[in-house]
């Protein structure tokens, strides 16, 4: 029998994401004026942007309370899942913990500032990807891991079905 630790133990990832997100945003707020651009390496700048919407500024006219409630609801759902599924789903628990940390990092911004601070500007030539932050990175990685977990489950079920028909 192999030891399987509790999924809830992966909540430390959420805490790390929140702390890194808030520290980096505070550094940007303290050291850069609005819309300042600081080149870091080719194709990467630090900027100081205000995002009142969701990803890519979608729903930018929605009140901050909408995003606070959404991020809080997502986090409550993740905590519920971690408690209900206590052991052994490490990849899924990791993904959900990253998503929750990112969601809460951005919720903190909306509660304290009324908007989210974005500061990473990736570009190629004259094309710039939407500015983002550490919370957005965690949400993106968490989402990619969720997709990977679903694909691995699908593959496992498909292979189990084939083995059962032989």
Residue 166: inside a domain? no
Return the exposure string of 108-118: e unless at least 16 CB atoms fall within 10 Å of the residue's CB, then b: bbbeeeebbbb
Return the exposure string of 37-65: e unless at least 16 CB atoms fall within 10 Å of the residue's CB, then b: eeeeeeeebbbbbebbeeeebeeeeeebe
Read off the pLDDT of residues 67-126 as tens digits, 9 standing for 90 and up: 899 999 999 999 998 888 767 788 999 999 999 999 999 999 999 999 999 999 999 999
User: Pick the catalytic residue: 21, 109, 121, 136?
Assistant: 136
Residue 58: inside a domain? no
From the CB of residue 128, how many other CB atoms can be counted at a distance below 10 Å? Answer: 13
User: Pick the catalytic residue: 21, 109, 118, 149?
Assistant: 118
Q: Tell me the residue length of the chain.
A: 166
Residue 134: inside a domain? yes
Q: Coil, helix or strand for 53?
A: coil
Q: Is 33 a catalytic residue?
A: no
Domain that holds residue 12: 7-53+63-161
Residue 67: inside a domain? yes
pTM of the entire predicted model: 0.87
Q: Please, which pLDDT band fits residue 163 given cuts at 50, 70 and 90?
A: low
Q: Is 136 a catalytic residue?
A: yes
Name the CA dihedral angle for 52, 57, 61, 64, rounded to a multiple of 10 degrees.
Answer: -40
Read off the pLDDT of residues 54-67 as tens digits, 9 standing for 90 and up: 776 677 788 888 98
Residue 2: inside a domain? no
Rounded distance, CA 83 to CA 100, Å? 14
Mean residue pLDDT of the chain comes to 89
Give, rounded to a whole angstrom, the gap between the first and last alpha carbons of the chain: 28
Read off the pLDDT of residues 27-44 as tens digits, 9 standing for 90 and up: 999 999 999 999 999 999
Residue 1: inside a domain? no
């Amino acid at each position: 029998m192999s030891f399987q630790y509790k999924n809830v133990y992966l909540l430390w990832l959420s805490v790390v994401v929140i702390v890194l997100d808030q520290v980096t945003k505070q550094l940007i707020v303290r050291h850069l004026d609005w819309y300042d651009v600081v080149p870091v390496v080719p194709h990467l700048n630090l900027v100081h942007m205000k995002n009142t919407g969701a990803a890519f500024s979608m729903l930018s006219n929605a009140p901050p309370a909408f995003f606070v409630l959404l991020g809080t609801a997502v986090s409550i759902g993740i905590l519920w899942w971690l408690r209900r599924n206590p052991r052994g789903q490490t990849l899924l628990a990791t993904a959900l913990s990253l998503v929750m940390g990112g969601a809460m990092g951005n919720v903190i911004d909306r509660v304290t500032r009324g908007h989210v601070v974005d500061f990473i500007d990736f570009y190629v030539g004259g094309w710039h990807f939407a500015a983002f932050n550490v919370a957005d990175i965690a949400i993106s990685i968490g989402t990619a891991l969720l997709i990977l977990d679903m694909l691995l489950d699908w593959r496992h079920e498909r292979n189990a079905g084939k083995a059962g028909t032989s």
